[in-house]
Amino acid sequence: MAALPKTGDQVYVEPDTIHGDEKGPEPNLLDATAVDAEKEFTEQENKALLKRIDWYLMPLMAMTYGIQYADKQSISNSTLFGIADDTHLHGQQTAWLSTIFYLSYLVFEGPMNYVMQKVRLGRFLAIAVFIWGGLVMLIAVCHNWAGLMILRTLIGGFESCISPGFLMIVASWYKREEHGMRSMIWMAQNGFFAIFTGLVTYGIGSASLKHGGIAAWRSINLFLGGMTSAWAIVLFFFIGTPEEVRWLSPEQKKQAVARIVSNQSGGGGQSEWKWSQVKEAFLDPQIYCYFLISFLADVPNGGYGIFGGIVTKSFGFTSLQVILLNMPGGAMGGSFNVLSGYLASKYKNTRTYYMAFSMIAGCAGLLVAALLPQEHAYRWKKWGGLLCMSIYSTAVFMGWSMLPSNVAGRTKKSVASTMSFVGYCAGNIVGSQLYQAKDAPLYRPGLIASAICFGLTFVVIFILRFYYIYINAKRDREAAASGLSDEEMERLGKINGENDMTDIQNPHFRYSY
């Protein structure tokens, strides 16, 4: 074990690593200026700035993420209003509309993450949103499976930048203890937007059934796509990192950067690509835990996301009733996400508990829906099971919000984010193929397999928690033996972070869970 630096030392001394004897970069001491700048601003000034940041960023990200969810679910809603008949879908072709979306998401994920490190992040995201909105509108003019497959492929590619891009934005604006609550606010719109989408879909569906005219599924996609592209114009002028936005003065931008040096994970702007950090990411056990959580928890999402309406309808409900019954689940899922984020911000190191609870509820709910008799008398109990399952997204979203808090180094953070979203895509791809046409309309084998995946996710969550506890305890013991004061260790940790050291290279970094 190499010696830790003593008070007053100006050179970072090589730390021990859990992956072997790997030397971290020697810090550029000019970056200590960013650490010193943190002391220039009072607590009141920082609170005022945080409020301004929230007023701009939270509505922008929440609206965008909700719109993304609505666009992604447009095919699921369309299955209730005749898209299969109008475009002559049969067999597994409906499932492939979900599979190809996530295959495209998977292929584009890495390149998008690389590009986002090199360009103006806010402008790039806005342009991507505008393009995919136009593509969603084009679904309305499709008449066959081939056309739908092409559009779903392109939509998946352009949507692949939003979640990792937003996590980069959160990491560039907020302190580690603020990540969970802020991330869960915009991620929760997956649930809350289900209410808005349900009302729109119900209105369009009712009008179409009553008055005829253009098919309801075509009108739904025209409306959602048009709304998306219009929103992208707003996004173009306001979203971005501290270096990019126009709604802060130069002094406020300096303050925004200084405010987050305590993260010890570096900023979120454009940076050099470091292959040493790529290697470290692929050797880091925590990254594989995040991958498995995203993969296992999203296997159910891939199938239920597109066939959930058909499953609920099989209980004995009409298409319009299914649209209305999806709304309470959206409200419950969104509310639990926000509540979990709030509690995590109030009580330190509790995030993994809320993640685990969401998996228990998801597993139990799916088993109830799958195993109770398929009889009219049980339809409300089976729907209740699906309602309990609706909070499962907390495990995925809170895992995503933990990642930028626990992975330091700009390149490593980008690679880790990519790997997590690869798991997300792979899980959705596998999940969409678990729902076989021969099992329709209940898809019982798919529901049971999904419940098993939730149970496995529960196990991985606690493996990650115990791993963090072990590493933190080990570093605490080493720090106590070094003779450094708490203040000096905190300062050195901040300087190491500003010099783009990774969480493994920086012996003063502590994991949150």
pLDDT digits (tens, 9 = 90+) for 210-263: 887 889 999 999 999 999 999 999 999 999 999 999 999 999 998 998 888 765
- pLDDT tens sequence across 256-290: 988 887 655 555 555 678 899 999 999 999 999 99
pLDDT, position 232? 97
What is the average per-residue pLDDT within 322-343?
A: 92
Question: Given this model, what pLDDT does residue 270 score?
Answer: 53
| Residues 189-207: tens digit of each pLDDT | 888 888 888 898 899 989 9
pLDDT over 50 at 13, yes or no: no
Query: Is 6 contained in some domain?
Result: no
The DSSP secondary-structure symbol of 274 reads: -
- Residue 245 is assigned to a structural domain of this protein: no
Q: Determine if the pTM surpasses 0.75.
A: yes
**What total number of domains does the chain contain?**
1
- Contact between residue 429 and residue 102 where contact means Cβ atoms under 8 Å apart: yes
pLDDT digits (tens, 9 = 90+) for 142-188: 999 999 999 999 999 999 999 889 988 988 898 877 877 888 888 88
CA angle, residues 445, 449, 455, in degrees to nearest 5: 150
CA distance 502 to 505: 5
The percentage of the chain sitting over the pLDDT mark of 90, rounded to a whole number, equals 60
Q: What is the mean pLDDT of residues 28-52?
A: 71
CB-CB neighbours of 214 under 10 Å: 12
Please give the residue range of the domain that contains residue 433.
Answer: 52-238+274-498
Asked if 430 contacts 302 with a C-beta cutoff of 8 angstroms, the reply is: yes
Q: At what angle do helices 93-116 and 121-138 cross, to 10 degrees?
A: 160
pLDDT reading at 7 higher than 60: no
* 44 within domain boundaries: no
Give the chain's mean pLDDT: 87
Asked if residue 269 lies in contact with residue 241, where contact means CB atoms within 8 angstroms, the answer is: yes
pLDDT beyond 90 at 114: no
- DSSP H stretches of helix in 372-406: 379-389, 393-406
Angle between helices 379-389 and 351-371 (to 10 degrees): 160
> Do the beta carbons of residue 396 and residue 293 sit within 8 Å?
yes
How far is 335 from 339, CA to CA, in rounded Å? 6
Token pair in block for residue 69: 């969810």
The band of 486, judged by pLDDT with boundaries at 50, 70 and 90, is: confident
Rounded to whole angstroms, how far apart are CA atoms 221 and 70? 10
Confidence of residue 27 (pLDDT cuts 50, 70, 90): very low
Spatial distance between the Cα atoms of 150 and 153, rounded to a whole number of angstroms: 5
Query: Looking up tokens 């940041």, which residue turns up?
Result: 53
Mean pLDDT of 17-39: 48
Residue pair 60/166 in contact by the 8 Å Cβ criterion:
no
Q: Which residues contact 137 (CB under 8 A, 6 or more apart)?
A: 221, 222, 225, 226, 229
**Cβ neighbours around 245 below 10 Å, total:** 19
User: What is the DSSP secondary-structure string of 406-470?
Assistant: H--SHHHHHHHHHHHHHHHHHHHHHHHHHS-GGGTTT-HHHHHHHHHHHHHHHHHHHHHHHHHHH
Task: Compute the C-alpha angle 481/482/485, nearest 5°.
Answer: 110
Q: Backbone dihedral region of 409: left (phi > 0), alpha (psi from -120 to 50 degrees) or beta?
A: left
With contact defined as beta carbons under 8 Å apart, do 393 and 337 qualify?
Answer: yes
Determine the pLDDT at residue 41: 78
Residue 380: pLDDT band (50, 70, 90) is: very high
Q: For the residues 375-379, what does the mean pLDDT come to?
A: 94
Query: Is 90 exceeded by the pLDDT of residue 431?
Result: yes
- Answer yes or no: is pLDDT of 33 > 70: no
For residues 297-308, average pLDDT: 92
Burial class (CB in 10 A: 0-12, 13-18, 19+), 110: middle
pLDDT at 48 over 70: yes
**CA–CA distance from 464 to each of 277, 457, 468, 510 (Å)?**
21, 11, 6, 14
Measured distance CA(75)–CA(224) in Å, rounded: 11
Q: How confident is the model at residue 9 (pLDDT cuts 50, 70, 90)?
A: very low
CATH number for 494 = 1.20.1250.20
**Closest by Cα among 151, 157, 142 to 103:** 157
Spatial CB neighbours of 405, under 8 Å, sequence gap ≥ 6: 176, 179, 180, 263, 265, 512
pLDDT tens column, 67-111? 998 888 788 888 888 899 999 999 899 999 999 999 999 999 888
**Rounded to an integer, what distance in angstroms lies between the CA atom of residue 280 and that of residue 282?**
5
205 falls within a domain: yes
Residue 36 in any domain: the answer is no
Q: What CA–CA distance (Å, rounded) separates 313 from 372? A: 15
Calpha distance 417→8 (Å, rounded): 36
169 within a domain of the structure (yes/no) = yes
- Residues 269, 270, 272, 277, Cα dihedral to 10°: 50
Of 245, 294, 242, 283, the residue nearest 409 (C-alpha) = 283
Q: Which residues contact 139 (CB under 8 A, 6 or more apart)?
A: 74, 75, 78, 148, 151, 218, 221, 225
Instruction: State the Cα–Cα distance between residues 304 and 385, nearest whole angstrom.
Output: 13
CB 508 within 8 A of CB 492: yes
Taking alpha carbons only, the member of 208, 212, 214, 216 closest to residue 79 is 216
